Amino acid sequence: MSVETPSTRERILRAAADLLTQGGREAVSTRAVGAAAGVQAPTLYRLFGDKDGLLAAVASYGFEEYLSAKRAQGRSGDPVADLRRGWDLHVDFGLSRPAFYVLMYGDARPGAGSPAARESERILAGLIGRIAAAGRLRLPVDRAARMVHAASVGVTLALIATDPGARDPELSILTREAVLGAITTDPPGDGGGAGVAGRAVALQAALAPDDPRLTPGERTLLAEWLDRLSR
């Protein structure tokens, strides 16, 4: 009995990635992938379960370059500037690898996100959390992260769907700055500041969910108070 080695999986993913790039999602059939990779359908099913499993693996495979760049993104002293750079990295990836991006984000369904997309969302939440910890976030971390995610994905898909010669080069920048203006405040001492809501968000970000200094009931009550103040 033959054993599928890592090289078999890699060969399949490379073949599927090539088909995706050339013909989009519809080109990635098990028959076409098997023929391109030189394997039989049972091998595909053993390694990936079904076509959805294969597509999720292909999305992660193609997204790895982007995730590597996200993980390696250095921190500056300004978490808002870091979020701005993260936004640009996200949009640039979508425009440079549109087939992979549309595979990941173009068929949004509840619970259908790939592991790669979920990791990207975790990285985004970390960036937003740093802004909250600095006292510069107007909204709770989860809501701010959803706003940034929705806007960045929306603008990227809109740009992908537009003929390159007709794209507005300022669309992403204008959308980015509108969202940042809605969720962040000026640095302390710059005439702005987060006020009570921002300080509540900062305290939410700083407190561990299982902080031993508080009883479960106290943590629940404090979370309710902070959530009310932050809104």
pLDDT one-digit tens code per residue, 99-149: 888 888 877 666 666 677 788 888 899 999 999 999 899 888 999 999 999
The crossing angle, in degrees rounded to 10, of helices 79-96 and 51-72 is 140
- Residue 122 · residue 115 · CB < 8 Å: no
Instruction: State the burial class of residue 38 (Cβ atoms within 10 Å of its Cβ: 0-12, 13-18, 19+).
Output: exposed
Rounded Cα distance between 196 and 194, Å, is 7
State which amino acid sits at residue 217: G
DSSP string covering 41-89, please?
Answer: HHHHHHHHSSHHHHHHHHHHHHHHHHHHHHHHPPP-S-HHHHHHHHHHH
Dihedral angle over CA of 44, 49, 50, 55, nearest 10: -80
The more confidently predicted of residues 228 and 165 is 165
Mean pLDDT, the chain, whole residue set: 83
pLDDT score at 23: 85
Residues paired with 167 in a beta bridge: none
The rounded Cα 114 to chain-centroid distance in angstroms is: 10
pLDDT score of 1 = 45
76-82 mean pLDDT: 91
More confident residue, 68 or 229: 68
All residues at 6 or more sequence positions from 216 whose CB lies less than 8 Å from its CB, including other chains: none
Sign of the dihedral defined by the CA atoms of residues 188, 193, 194, 196, in that order: positive
Residues with Cβ within 8 Å of 82's Cβ and at least 6 positions away in sequence, in order, are: 73, 75, 76, 127, 130
Nearest to 70 by CA among 54, 88, 46, 89: 89
Q: What is the pLDDT of residue 195?
A: 60
- 191 pLDDT higher than 50: no
pLDDT at position 142: 92
Check if the beta carbon of residue 86 is closer than 8 Å to that of residue 152: no
> Would you place residue 197 in the very low, low, confident or very high pLDDT band (cuts 50, 70, 90)?
low
Per 3-state DSSP, the chain is made up of helix, strand and coil in percentages (nearest 5) of: 70, 0, 25
Torsion of CA 6, 9, 11, 16, to 10 degrees: -160
